Amino acid sequence: MELEATAIDIGTSRPLVLLNTTDADELGAHPLDRVRIRWNGETVTGIVKRTDELVEPGTVGVTEPLHAVHGAVDVKLAGTPRSVRYVRKKLDDVELEPHELGRIVQDIHEHRLSDVELGAYVSGIYANGLSLEETKHLTEAMSAVGQQLSWDAPVVADKHSIGGIAGNCVTPIMVAIVAAAGLTMPKTSSRAVTSPAGTADVMEVLCDVEFSLAEIEEIVTETNGCLVWGGGVDLSPVDDEIIRAENPLSIDPPGQLMASVLSKKRSAGSTHVVIDVPYGEGAKVESLVAARELADDFKRVGDHLEMDVCCAITHGTDPIGRGVGPALEARDVLAVLEGDEDAPESLRLKSLRLSELLLEHCGVDASAAEILESGKALERFRDIVAAQGGDPGVCADDLEPGAHSTTIRADRTGLASRVDNRQLCDLARRAGAPLDSRAGLVIHQTATNAVEVGDPLYTIHAETQSKLEEAEALADRLEPIRVRSKADALVERR
């Protein structure tokens, strides 16, 4: 069918082809079918969207990935990508071959799968899981797509947490300590998936996080480290597409999680990686047995990729730090680095423990505590913030939370018997985090604290009154910090 192509912007990165219903009927094209467009001796493929209003008969609209296409074009129906068959196999719980996983990764990278098909892929992984062999080959395929960083240093340090713990922002502190110890640590981090703040969201409160590869190399050459958004430099870009599909479902299945983490690390040129695997009620991994299994699998996949991976299995029952949300977590980070006596001790201790482990793992004889207490870590962190375009003089007291707030208080006397990370994260997200950087929670109690009637449990901060009211309504239905009598609390903690 001969049509006239015109560019249309409907706010999508998908290669959509908008056909008027009349033309679509004549072509026999249904929603989400593929069409092949021949133009100027070239051929491109797009996903069909039918419309009565956005384009006139005789015209085909093309979205941003296809904007080079214009003028007279020939439009024909195209077949479904082979990877869709492989997605169906995974939905049927059939183990995929390496070439099948590679084809899925390539088609995701080339935007050949519709949002529905991408959603089916992550649903199949969530429902039926990935074998260890599938995870190895998927990680390898994902890391082979996109750009790669390489470094002259023989040892390149890295760290990742699988997430799920409120306020667990140890990464900026670790990078400052490890870089101050002389190691190269180019940290590429993600934005939030199911949490109220990823490391990139936290750092964006203080400085820029989107840089080109050349700019990252310059920052690392100057400071030994960086804290940037990995999606901004096309490192394992398929991971970002998969995360986009996982977000609405708030899922992060183990096999895909490992492929996501380690494909990014391999693309970033990391040689020695520490993975933080928190476990406990309300965490992503709830049992010690499951945490050990996941840690073993991380190590096996790392060996397959020739990366030296070790895991720290940490308690994930309680939040780390007091703030939950980008600005509130950034405030905690600065307080620890500044040596503030009121800085959250849980965040300081976990940052030191993981830093010591990473230094030892990389064969460096240095004391993380000494580097932190001497002010060298703070100095290096300020260097990194300055190199990334931020204010190196920013202090914890400079960061104000959202002006709209309410404090939830205890309605009984007893002990805080349980703190639910998942519910705290849900509340912070309902308040607007991470998109509203100053939204989130401040946690006033941890498990086993003695609590009196009227004592503050947590404070919700939002940037708008409407978001605060939404979070309050959710808080009425949840109990993220449970207060029970001392006798009942001791029974629950056993």
Domain architecture of the chain: domains with CATH: 2-78 (2.40.40.20), 82-129 (1.20.970.10), 157-230+261-396 (3.40.1030.10), 404-493 (3.90.1170.30)
- Tell me what pLDDT residue 139 has: 97
- Provide the pLDDT for residue 201: 94
pLDDT in tens, 37-85: 999 889 999 999 999 999 999 999 999 889 999 999 999 999 889 999 9
- Is the pLDDT assigned to residue 494 strictly greater than 80? no
Q: Tell me what pLDDT residue 488 has.
A: 65
* CA–CA distance, 445 with 344 (Å, rounded to integer): 12
Helix (H, G, I), strand (E, B) or coil at 34: strand
Pairing label, strands 450-451, 16-20: unpaired
pLDDT value at residue 189: 85
pLDDT of 210 reads 94
pLDDT of residue 193: 67
Lowest average pLDDT, out of 15-29, 185-199, 411-425, goes to 185-199
pLDDT tens string 411-459:
999 999 889 888 999 999 999 999 999 999 999 998 889 999 999 999 9
Residue of 279, 278, 261 whose CA lies nearest to 270: 261
Residues labelled as active-site residues? 252
**Placement of tokens 């999606």 in the chain:** 231
Measure the CA–CA gap between 32 and 47, rounded to whole angstroms: 5
Residues in the chain: 494
pLDDT above 70: residue 492: no
pLDDT for the residue numbered 249: 82
Contact present, 234 and 141 (Cβ < 8 Å) = no
Looking at residue 131, its pLDDT comes to 97
Distances (CA, A) of 468 to 37, 456, 460, 473: 49, 17, 7, 9
Phi/psi for 120 (5° steps) reads -65, -35
**Backbone region of residue 223 per phi and psi (left: phi > 0; alpha: psi in -120 to 50; beta: other values):** alpha
Q: Span 365-388, mean pLDDT?
A: 98
Identify whether the C-beta of residue 156 lies closer than 8 Å to the C-beta of residue 272. Answer: yes
| Mean per-residue pLDDT of the chain | 93
Specify the pLDDT at position 409. Answer: 97
The tens digit of pLDDT for each residue in 280-298 reads 876 788 899 999 999 999 9
Higher-pLDDT residue of 192 and 146 is 146
**Alpha carbon distance 279, 394 (integer Å):** 34
Residue 422: predicted pLDDT: 87
- Which one is predicted more confidently, 348 or 112? 348
- pLDDT for 103: 97
Contact 235/188 with Cβ under 8 angstroms? yes
pTM above 0.95, yes or no: no
Model confidence band, residue 400 (pLDDT cutoffs 50, 70, 90): very high
Q: Tell me the average pLDDT across 351-355.
A: 97
pLDDT in tens, 206-240: 999 999 999 999 999 999 999 998 777 888 899 88
pLDDT band with cut points at 50, 70 and 90 for residue 129:
very high
Contact present, 343 and 332 (Cβ < 8 Å)? yes
